[in-house]
Structure formats: C-alpha cells, structure tokens
C-alpha cells in the first residue's frame, strides 16, 4: 500500500506540473551572445560568438516541461519562433522570419540530398574542463507528416570542429526523412505525432511532430579551443517551419540527469488513473459489505 501511495503522489506532482505550464516564447533576438550564454552550463567556457538569422527566427522559451521535457532554453527556427506555442490550430504554419535570413547553409547541405534555405546559425568557440561535452535538445516541424520522404527534408545539426554530433538513434542526421513514424521508419521510437490532419493534436505545441528530448555528446575532446556550430534550415523550399529547442544550461562538460519524456508522463497518468480506479472499487466493495 505504501508503494502504491508513493506512485500516486509522484505521478500527481508531475501531472500537476505538466498542466500548470504551457510553452511560452519569452522574446526573440539576434543577439548571439545572449543565446549562447543561456545555453552554457558547468565546465564549459565560450568566446567569439556569432549569429546569423532573421529577427524572429531565434529566441528564448519557458514552460516547455510538459510537452518537450525541457522547461526553458533557446529556440532556433526556419521561420518565426513566435509561432511555436500551441494549440496546434494549423497543419502548415509558416512564420515571418523578420529582417534577415533567407540563405541556406553549406554544412547542412552536405548532410542531406536537398539544398537548404532560411538557415539560423549560432557559432562560438569553447573549451571544456572535463574533455567531454553534452547537451539536450528537441527537434520539431510542421513538415510532419505530409512531407515525410519528400524533398522537403528540413534538417538541423550541431557541428563540433566540423563533425555533426546531433544524431538520431540509428546514427543518421536528425531531419524530417530520418526521424518519423511513416512506414518502416528506423527512428519512430523517439518521434511524437501531433498532426491535426490525423486526429486531435495530443500536445500543446504548434508543430505537427517532434522528437523526444535527445542528448548530443562528444567524449574525449582534445585540450584547447574547439568550435561549435548550431544550425537549422528549410530544405527544398522556404515554407513550413521547423525548430530546435535547446535546454538552457545543458551545454556542459558534465552529463545531465535524465528526466521522463512526455510519453512517460502519459503512461504515469494512465497508471495513476488505474490505481485510483482500483482504490474506488475497493472502497465501494467495503461499503457494500
């Protein structure tokens, strides 16, 4: 009985936190120093920051724990960060980037068959005290699910000294065609379907699909200064927004502590409902007796 009570309490606390928060875009900015500083955590020092992108393409978010598994951090998009919060009331949101943006990125072009447009790119130099590097992120897009396995293969990457370390579980770059649940998709296990054309959206976010919170890492970096490049872009066209959410303070030399994904919260909700129903049935039986 005590164990069941603990499960109920834990699930109740997590569900209360989930229902009390909603994804909010606090502000948009082209200030690369502000974006990079919000990302950096323990054991890492940064310098020489640069940002390229439109005035609405990047910014800061909060209240994302219940959907993304990330409470706050920075968002980079191929359109407008202001379009990210739910509810999902459109199957094809295309936000205005504001002043700037438009061009693609050569390093992203090398990861996929398509050429890119509307890139948002944040670069900086860094050193790590531990020799290791970790950070958490979520990829989301309006290209899901209609344009899976098409030329509209929006993509993002985190390049450390020119090598992409943001990869799907099977080792591919994270893009529309590589992470989805269409057909025999190899990375369906980390994908959340939120497409309104396939029924009522499950999550309070505008994007029609998004990944679980994923961990990017690089172990055993050599001594000295290294370069980080975070980039996201449209592929094949310049419409339908994609975004990457980067957990604030998680760009660290120390591995972050894992937390449950949105799907786990849902399972806990089902478990809580079952436990409460069982308790009601038991109490009802005792009263009848």
Domain boundary assignment for the chain:
22-260
Question: 258 versus 26: which is more confidently predicted?
Answer: 26
Q: How far apart are the first and last CA of the chain?
A: 21
How wide is the angle at C-alpha 63 spanned by C-alphas 140 and 179, nearest 5°? 15
The pLDDT of residue 212 is: 98
The pLDDT of residue 232 is: 98
The pLDDT of residue 272 is: 41
Distance, CA of 45 to chain centre: 23
Percent with pLDDT over 70 in the chain: 82
- The per-residue pLDDT for range 153-172, each reduced to its tens digit, is 999 999 999 999 999 999 99
Question: 189 pLDDT exceeds 50?
Answer: yes
Nearest C-alpha neighbor of 248 from the set 128, 105, 75: 75
Q: Which residue has the tokens 């700037």?
A: 100
Q: Tell me the pLDDT band of 17, cut-offs 50, 70 and 90.
A: very low
pTM summary value: 0.83
Nearest C-alpha neighbor of 124 from the set 133, 113, 115: 133
The pLDDT of residue 218 is: 96
Nearest C-alpha neighbor of 243 from the set 133, 80, 104: 80
Distance CA 274, CA 71 (A): 28
- The per-residue pLDDT for range 101-127, each reduced to its tens digit, is 899 999 999 999 999 999 999 999 999
Radius of gyration of the chain (CA): 20
- The per-residue pLDDT for range 118-152, each reduced to its tens digit, is 999 999 999 999 999 999 999 999 999 999 999 99
């Amino acid at each position: 009985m005590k164990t069941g009570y603990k499960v109920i309490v834990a699930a109740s606390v997590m569900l209360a936190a989930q229902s009390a928060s909603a994804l909010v875009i606090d502000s948009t900015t082209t200030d690369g120093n502000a974006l990079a500083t919000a990302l950096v955590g323990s054991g890492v020092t940064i310098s020489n920051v640069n940002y390229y992108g439109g005035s609405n393409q990047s910014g800061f978010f909060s209240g994302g724990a219940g959907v993304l598994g990330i409470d706050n951090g920075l968002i980079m998009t191929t359109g407008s960060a202001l379009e990210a919060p739910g509810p999902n009331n459109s199957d094809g949101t295309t936000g205005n980037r504001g002043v700037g943006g438009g061009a693609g990125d050569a390093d992203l072009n090398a990861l996929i068959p398509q050429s890119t447009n509307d890139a948002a790119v944040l670069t900086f130099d860094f050193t790590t005290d531990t020799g290791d590097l970790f950070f958490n992120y979520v990829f989301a897009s309006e290209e899901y699910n209609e344009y899976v396995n098409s030329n509209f293969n929006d993509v993002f990457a985190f390049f450390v000294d020119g090598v992409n370390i943001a990869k799907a579980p099977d080792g591919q770059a994270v893009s529309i065609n590589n992470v989805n649940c269409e057909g025999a998709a190899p990375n369906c296990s980390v994908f959340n379907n939120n497409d309104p054309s396939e029924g009522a959206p499950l999550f309070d976010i505008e994007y029609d699909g998004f990944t679980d919170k994923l961990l990017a890492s690089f172990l055993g970096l050599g001594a000295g200064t290294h370069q980080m490049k975070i980039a996201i872009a449209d592929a094949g066209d310049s419409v339908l927004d994609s975004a990457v959410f980067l957990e604030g303070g998680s760009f660290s030399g120390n591995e972050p502590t894992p937390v449950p994904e949105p799907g786990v919260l849902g399972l806990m909700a089902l478990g809580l409902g079952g436990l409460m129903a069982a308790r009601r049935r038991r109490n009802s039986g005792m009263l009848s007796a």
